[in-house]
Amino acid sequence: MLMETDKRLALQAYEQILNLILSGQAEPGVMVTERRLADTLNMSRTPIRDALLMLEGEGLLIRQGSRGLQVKQTRVEDYMDALQVRQMLEPEAARLAAGRMPADELDQLREALNALIDDARHGKTKPERASVRDVDDRLHGGIGDAAGNPQLAQIIRTLRRQTQIFDLRSVPERLESTCQEHLDIVGALRDGRGDDAAKAMRQHLDHVRDSIIRRLTRA
């Protein structure tokens, strides 16, 4: 069993390594090692090892025998499979979460989403991926947690990690549309309208899928 301090350090290492992966600093196909990461993150190897095991469990790292762990090279087929499962699970999670998420959290999300839309419409500095991802994580993660089923929340979180790798590099033009779709979800959640929350989530994920298909077709 990990002590509380060990768990906290492992989670800190997990978040930092995850950010390296999602930001593209740790590119798909690159091998990662405890020693190199410990030097990069200025941490001991024990929390690094625990974090790598978590990321391997989520499918973001693939073990290559004695060579160690490799950042997964996400194929389009992998992305679409994971997105299909999200389409099955997340609308129901949104239905269950309606009326259960704290109103102040939803209000903060609404404010952040409106700020992103305002910046996009007025041609201000392009928002950092980390900021967009933070809002996305807070909404989708909050829905999973509020649904009241820890296993469902963990499955959704893992699937989202797998699709985020593709999302962030593929459809930057969807920023404003995504924010508006998220606002529709937030409104339904805050009002406790479960059916509307499920519908809004389903439409959002359908639009994500369609945008990827359009991008691939143009390519």
Q: What is the pLDDT of residues 134-165, one digit of tens each?
A: 899 999 999 999 999 999 999 999 898 888 76
- Are residues 28 and 129 located together in one domain of the fold? no
Alpha helices for 122-149 (secondary structure H): 129-146
Q: Are residues 100 and 165 in the same domain?
A: yes
The enclosing domain of 62 has a CATH number of 1.10.10.10
- Report the range out of 11-20, 74-83, 200-209 with the highest average pLDDT: 200-209
Domain ends where: 71, 91, 120?
Answer: 71
Same domain, 106 and 128: yes
> Is residue 189 scored above 60 in pLDDT?
yes
Which pLDDT does position 168 carry in this prediction? 46
Task: Specify the CATH number for the domain of residue 162.
Answer: 1.20.120.530
**Domain boundary residue, one of 42, 71, 100:** 71
State pLDDT tens for residues 51-94: 999 889 888 899 998 888 999 887 888 888 999 999 999 999 99
**In the predicted structure, residue 130 carries a pLDDT above the cut 90:** no
pTM for this predicted structure: 0.76
Query: Mean pLDDT, to the nearest integer, of 5-22?
Result: 85
Domain range spanning residue 28?
A: 4-71
Looking at the fold, whether 142 and 106 belong to one and the same domain comes out as yes
- Please answer whether residues 83 and 216 qualify as being in contact, where contact means their C-beta atoms are separated by less than 8 angstroms: no
- Residue 142 Cα distances to 73, 83, 145, 148, 203, angstroms: 28, 18, 5, 11, 19
Same domain, 58 and 98: no
Residue 152: what pLDDT?
96
Identity of the residue numbered 119: D
pLDDT at 162: 80
Quick one: residue 26, left, alpha or beta (phi over 0 = left, psi -120 to 50 = alpha)?
beta
Number of folded domains in the chain?
A: 2
End position of a domain, from candidates 34, 56, 71: 71
Positive or negative, the CA dihedral 29, 131, 56, 20 is positive
